[in-house]
């Protein structure tokens, strides 16, 4: 790409998000724009993966049938309550791929509306529109997909559980994946019970699908690469159109000035992100904001190049031992994948 010495900075961007934009964002991320059940490659050594594809296929057929309803006398139709599927498993086993495939399997037409949101986007939606308005907004949808249902915030979990109960009654089917609670992190298998307990009013409608297997991002992933120097990062940034260059601490401070729902707009139109002075973080709030930004960058497929500490050392051992372990490990995995993409073809001098 042609370069420009006048490199932009994420810290100079101050995005706002309209309600209309929030609705328009309720689609699978760009990384999963072209997926389907047919493009999911089950690991032959993990039969649960092929079984999960079948269950999700059946679920989407049921979702459409329930929205269509059953015929009553005089030809009117009565909408049936929605159904639910919960995909339980570690990260990198393809849960989001299957979730997005379910979204696409329910074909979009005037009769078949569907939405795909992270748990955070859904709580943001309820905050912007209000609880009842949010129900009205989504009540004629066939399917609501929720990626990374968060069980670590009781208030939000209760809110979304109530929202889902109301939507299911109105014929909306729900597919979800989730993160696990702190106590079960070593095991992971108990995520399903936690999820069902938290949404106990809905538990009976959810079919739980356990997907086993190693993180596919780690199947061939080398250890974190040696970071380039600050000057090298700045030089590379100046050679790429649409790139941004930011100091790590300044960027972290900037992220604190806005709700994570704006991070998608923050990185809109950016080709590559360059960061200098990366170092380990010990503040949980800073770390969680960085996780949110990483998810947005990963979803958009935007490469990252960073100087300073290696990217697999950002989250301290103490933090990895805490309640958000799964989020931090997922973010590290994604950062390494984005860095591998960024450093491909570049030589550190």
Average pLDDT over residues 214-233: 74
- Give the pLDDT confidence score for residue 181 in this predicted structure: 38
Residue 215's pLDDT is 64
Residue 269's alpha-carbon distances to 13, 244, 294, 300, in angstroms, are 12, 10, 16, 10
Residue pair 107/142 in contact by the 8 Å Cβ criterion? no
Enter the tokens of residue 10.
């994420």
SS3 of residue 74 by DSSP: helix
Q: Is the pLDDT of residue 328 over 90?
A: no
What is residue 1's predicted lDDT score, i.e. its pLDDT?
46
User: pLDDT value at position 109?
Assistant: 59
pLDDT tens digits, residue range 184-213?
434 444 456 666 676 666 667 778 888 887
Q: Is the pLDDT of residue 216 over 90?
A: no
Q: For the chain, which residues make up each domain, given as ranges?
A: 10-16+218-343, 44-213
Measured CA distances, 334 to 83, 202, 205, 215, 301 (Å): 32, 32, 33, 11, 10
pLDDT of the residue at 129: 85
Total Cβ atoms within 10 A of residue 155: 8
10-16+218-343 and 44-213 have identical folds? yes
**For residue 44, pLDDT beyond 80:** yes
Is the pLDDT score of 98 beyond 80? Answer: yes
Q: pTM for the full model? A: 0.70
Greater confidence (185 vs 99) lies with 99
Task: Check pLDDT > 50 for residue 155.
Answer: yes
**Residue 202, pLDDT score:** 65
Residue 266: the pLDDT is 93
Q: What is the mean pLDDT of residues 109-119?
A: 82
Q: In this structure, which topology does domain 10-16+218-343 adopt according to CATH?
A: Rossmann fold (3.40.50)
What is the mean predicted confidence (pLDDT) over 6-17? 86
Q: Is CATH 3.40.50.300 the right assignment for the domain spanning 44-213?
A: yes
């Amino acid at each position: 790409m042609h370069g420009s010495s006048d490199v932009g900075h994420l810290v100079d961007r101050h995005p706002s998000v309209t309600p209309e934009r929030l609705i328009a964002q309720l689609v699978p991320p760009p990384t999963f724009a072209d997926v389907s059940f047919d493009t999911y490659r089950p690991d032959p050594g993990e039969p649960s993966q092929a079984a999960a594809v079948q269950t999700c296929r059946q679920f989407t057929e049921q979702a459409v049938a329930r929205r269509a309803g059953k015929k009553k006398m005089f030809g009117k139709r009565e909408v049936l309550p929605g159904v639910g599927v919960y995909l339980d498993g570690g990260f990198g086993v393809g849960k989001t791929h299957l979730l997005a495939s379910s979204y696409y399997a329910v074909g979009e037409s005037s009769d078949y509306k569907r939405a795909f949101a992270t748990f955070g986007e859904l709580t943001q939606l309820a905050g912007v529109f209000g609880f009842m308005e949010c129900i009205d907004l989504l009540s004629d949808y066939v399917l609501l997909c929720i990626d990374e249902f968060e069980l670590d915030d009781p208030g939000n979990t209760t809110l979304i559980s109530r929202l889902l109960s109301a939507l299911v009654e109105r014929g909306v089917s729900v597919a979800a994946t989730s993160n696990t609670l702190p106590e079960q992190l070593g095991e992971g298998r108990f995520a399903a019970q936690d999820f069902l307990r938290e949404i106990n009013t809905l538990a009976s409608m959810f079919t739980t699908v356990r997907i086993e297997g190693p993180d596919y991002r780690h199947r061939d992933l080398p250890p974190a690469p040696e970071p380039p120097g600050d000057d090298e990062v700045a030089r590379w940034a100046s050679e790429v159109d649409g790139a941004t260059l930011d100091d790590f601490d300044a960027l972290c401070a900037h992220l604190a000035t806005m709700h994570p729902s704006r991070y998608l707009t923050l990185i809109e139109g950016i080709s590559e992100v360059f960061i200098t002075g990366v170092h380990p973080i010990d503040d949980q709030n800073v770390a969680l904001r960085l996780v949110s930004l990483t998810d947005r960058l990963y979803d958009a497929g935007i490469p990252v190049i960073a100087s300073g500490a290696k990217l697999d050392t950002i989250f301290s051992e103490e933090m990895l031992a805490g309640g958000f372990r799964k989020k931090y490990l997922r973010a590290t995995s994604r950062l390494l994948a984005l860095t591998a993409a960024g450093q491909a073809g570049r030589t550190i001098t």
